[in-house]
Amino acid sequence: MDAKELYTSKPWLKFYPEDVAPDVEIPNVSVPDLLDRTAEKFKKKTALVFYGRKISYGELIDMVNRCAAALAGLGVKKGDTVAIYLLNSPQFVISYFGALKAGAKVTPVSPVYTSKEVKHQLEDSEARTIICEDMLYANVERAGAKLDNIIISNLGDFLPLLKRAFAKKMISKAYQGLKPPTADEIKRLGLHVFKDFIAAKGTPPAIQFDPAKDIAALPYTGGTTGLPKAAMLTHRNMVAIYVMGKAWWPFVQEGNETVIAFLPLFHIYGQAVLMLSGLTQGHTLVLFTTPDIEEILDAVERYQASAFYGVPTLYEYLKEHEKTGRVNWKKLKIVVSGADTLHDSTAEGWERRTGIPILEGFGMTECTSISHGNPYNRPKKGSFGMPICGMDAAVIDMDDLSFKPVNQEGELILSGPNVMLGYWKRPDANAETFIEIDGKRWMRTGDLVRMDEEGYFHFFDRKRDLIKHKGYSVFARHVEEVLYMHPQVKAAGVVGVPDPKVGQLIKAYVVLQSEARGKISEEEIIAFCKQNMAHYKVPGIVEFRGELPKTDVGKVSRRELREEAEEI
């Protein structure tokens, strides 16, 4: 069997659980259709729990309908873009589904963005309506983007009375220097207030969707060079991920699960896996604005959570946290990790502490969150799993695009109903990203991986994080894995620094455990690396840090480290 036939034969199907179908059928419906169906079926069931405030599916769909009608009343029509600049809250959920029901596409904006970043996203996405946190309005004003409608929301409006003062204090601390507009400013500037905006009863517009063509969301991917770009996700893409996820975890029962939802909803992981899939299956989402570990662990027990989704840095922290042992993790149906590589030491430490494995998965904004997952009955450490139901994947040579044999590294390519239409207004990027092989459309991911004999995939690195040192190709992740083996290394990030003599120098940024700081030298770290990896992979520079820059979902930001190193 040649390499191409290997992937078309889908060796991973042999290891699918017996109750998981190899393929799925995607219904020709829109996202609002799914939510309407779920809300009708589970009217009285709790959809959201927000710091003690419970909102039923009946209440939620009523507010979504009011929001859709109000947006239409402002002139928002099919094909328009509505920006959502909100923290995790019921308002985010209502705004998201309300905008979709009004026929608009949504573009969620990160609450940590600066006014410059906000300006780029608003202008690039062509958003003329924004729903924003009142505390963040100053950033919108400074951005100076031309907007027709600005709707401001206060986090406290959906909180129990006793929690409102706490929320105000917390938000003020998190966003120092930013103040919400006063009542006089709201009136003078013509701003709309969210709670008043959705107060009136109204009938949503009757929108005819073409799920395969109509864009539902424009989430922006982190810019590695230059500015971020948006993935065009259709209603069909989003319905597909709901169907595929449901098939991959058949034991997850509609209307019968409770999910701890602290991952940021503006990010595709929280948006598609938690909010979209959760609320279209009738689950209860216990929603957190900020990832407070103590409150999250308490909530797992208090609400008898059955599903927990996190990122590797969280599990690394939790495996040592004193309260982790108070939770009976064996009661949960699934514990999932995504958004970054799960280090073996983290996975093993977690399993020793809790007695259950973490199911590692893989996904991208461009494929509406998920493409791979570990089968629930046969997870493999060090692997992000296999293509989920309805997904095709292969490994190709980065240069000549030929298929790679088993266990040889190459670029991951994907094909499936969840893969985006393309990048918004980026024809050049689309030409580089999409290829056709024997009439089939594939998306190049830029991720370097290998597939083993059983069809499990293993991550190496991002193509852009490949370091060229003295003619050798060095994967940043390989070096980081060795650094994490050191008992006193808490966190690490590795980048290549341009150097005319060797191409790129390998630089490691290291955070030591608190008790080791000032006691371990850079030379000791380098000596440890020499003992555990090939000479050409050993960092030439080690810099100790108190902490490392993180992305919005908590993974080490190599992009920021690389930019810092290149400025020196």
Each residue's pLDDT tens digit, 527-544:
999 998 878 789 999 999
What percentage of the chain exceeds 90 in pLDDT? Answer: 73
Residue 176 pLDDT greater than 70, yes or no: no
pLDDT recorded at residue 226:
52
The per-residue pLDDT for 250 is: 95
Whether residue 547 is predicted with pLDDT greater than 70 in this model: the reply is yes
CA distance 68 to 48: 19
Whether 555 shows a pLDDT value over 90: the answer reads: no
Q: What is the 3-state secondary structure (H, E, C) of 24-67?
A: CCCCCCCHHHHHHHHHHHCCCCEEEEECCEEEEHHHHHHHHHHH
pLDDT at 183 over 80: yes
Query: Which pLDDT does position 173 carry in this prediction?
Result: 65
Is residue 446 within a helix (H) or strand (E), and if so which, with residue range?
strand 440-451
* First-residue to last-residue Cα distance in the chain: 51
Alpha-helical segments (H) within 223-356: 235-248, 268, 277-279, 293-302, 312-318, 344-354
Q: In the CATH hierarchy, which top-level class contains the domain 3-26+235-461?
A: alpha beta
pLDDT of residue 362 exceeding 80: yes
pLDDT of 556: 81
For domain 56-208, the CATH architecture is 3-Layer(aba) Sandwich (3.40)
Mean pLDDT calculated for residue range 213-237 = 85
How would you classify residue 108: left for phi > 0, otherwise alpha for psi between -120 and 50, otherwise beta? beta
Mean pLDDT to the nearest integer, 276-283: 97
- pLDDT band (50, 70, 90) for residue 342: confident
- The average confidence (pLDDT) of the chain is 91
List pLDDT tens digits, range 435-464: 999 999 999 998 989 999 999 999 887 777
For position 497, what pLDDT does the model report?
Answer: 87
**pLDDT per position as a tens digit, 63-118:** 999 999 999 999 999 999 999 999 999 999 999 999 999 999 999 999 988 898 89
% of the chain with per-residue pLDDT over 70:
95
Q: How far apart are CA 299 and CA 535, in angstroms?
A: 48
Angle between helices 476-485 and 344-354 (to 10 degrees): 40
For 48-57, how does the pLDDT look when each residue is reduced to its tens digit (9 = 90+)?
999 999 999 9
Q: Indicate whether 344 pLDDT > 90.
A: no
User: Which pLDDT value is given to residue 225?
Assistant: 40
Contact indicator for 446, 351 with CB cutoff of 8 Å:
no
Q: Mark out the alpha helices in 369-423 (DSSP H runs).
A: none
Give the fold, CATH level 3, of 470-567.
GMP Synthetase; Chain A, domain 3 (3.30.300)
Q: Same topology for domains 3-26+235-461 and 470-567, yes or no?
A: no
Q: Where are the domains of the chain?
A: 3-26+235-461, 56-208, 470-567
- Are 271 and 242 a contacting pair, CB within 8 Å? no
Is the pLDDT reported for residue 124 higher than 80?
Answer: yes
pLDDT of 224 > 50? The answer is no
pLDDT higher than threshold 50 for residue 494: yes
